[in-house]
Amino acid sequence: MSHATETTLFQIRTVWHETGRVFLLDQTLLPTVEKVIEIESVDAMWDAIKRLCVRGAPAIGVAAGYGVWIAARQALASGEDVRANALKACERLASSRPTAVNLFWALDRIKIIIKDNNTSGAALANIILLEADAIRAEDLESCKAIGRLGAALIKNGDTLLTHCNAGALATSGFGTALAPMFWAAHIEGKQISVYADETRPLLQGARLTAWELQKAGIPVTLICDSTAASVMSAKKIDGIIVGADRIAANGDVANKIGTYALAVLAHHHNVPFYVAAPWSTVDISSLTGADIPIEERTREEITLSGDNIIAPEGIAVFNPAFDVTPARLVTAYITDKGVFERISES
């Protein structure tokens, strides 16, 4: 793998603002179609977050910030109260998905800016945009730090495993779980390879992670979720890196469903299990994982494959989007503030 500079390190734009407009890459269409769509209303942003057009905890936070600015911009154009409409948008967007804490963290930042500022109209709308841009820029820098710090845990020749998608697509660029891989391969020139879990039921690993790693030129092998135990048993895995949607104060981790099972397998096979996330993903108001709300999604995500019915009609379905991995199963947390064996050490 040839060396690269930090500025040329592989990245993808997920959600961004330019020329007074907000765009996002529609991730529901990947990997076959790369389509950029414009978001023109708060309802459209809510729908994009809910339908996973934009997904991944950091990226959702960025999207929410821009969603509030869209509300402010529309209020300004129609002569309505910018402050009231922006605060209303915060409440609307907060209802889109319950588990990823970055959504609420970003909206809280925007609300503080709105409430603490005495300006109104165009000036207030511009302040909201500046804050949304700052959230995006800070997330990008956080991902770079995670990549640099996490790469130190990866040795030349390592084979890693990851679950779901915590790459550039889930952030403002570079990613969280994939950032150390990109950094190790492209900046430090380490020869690494990756196994990517398919990640049922929406196949974020197959559709997104495998696509990202392949585009980045990192050797990747796609496996069924149920194959992870076999590859660990065969001693083919040197380390596991996953992302997080929320980390409780005690270090328990909410991440894509299947992460807990992977952590149990890693513990049994003595494989290091790392969680990579920006510090904004730590939620001190959730004392343990039991305090984290877990989103349940529609039955159709399990009973349908495209338009094909793959389960008996009327079958009961339980479809949590996330599970909670106890802190005791985490080898270390790779954050933008450092690498910690316990979350309380920060």
Tell me how far CA of residue 322 lies from CA of 168, 175, 221, 282, 294, in angstroms: 20, 19, 24, 16, 6
CA 135: distance to chain centroid?
A: 14
Please state, as a whole number, how many other Cβ atoms lie within 10 Å of the Cβ of residue 92: 18
Are the CB atoms for 187 and 3 separated by under 8 Å?
A: yes
First-to-last C-alpha distance (Å) of the chain: 34
Q: Using CA of residue 308, residue 311, residue 312, residue 317, what is the dihedral sign?
A: negative
Q: What stretch of H or E contains 136?
A: helix 121-151
Q: Which residues are part of the catalytic machinery?
A: 245
Instruction: Name residues whose C-beta falls within 8 Å of residue 322's C-beta, 6 or more positions apart in sequence.
Output: 99, 245, 254, 255, 256, 257, 259, 292, 294, 295
For β-strands 220-223 and 193-197, DSSP reports them as: parallel
Name the residue among 284, 209, 288 with its Cα closest to residue 253: 288
The residue count for the chain: 346
Yes or no: say if 71 and 39 are a contact pair by the CB < 8 Å rule.
no
Please enumerate in sequence order all residues whose Cβ is within 8 A of that of 330, keeping only pairs 6 or more positions apart, or say none. 251, 253, 263, 273, 274, 275
Contact 166, 242 (CB under 8 A): yes
Q: Are 218 and 193 in contact (CB under 8 A)?
A: yes
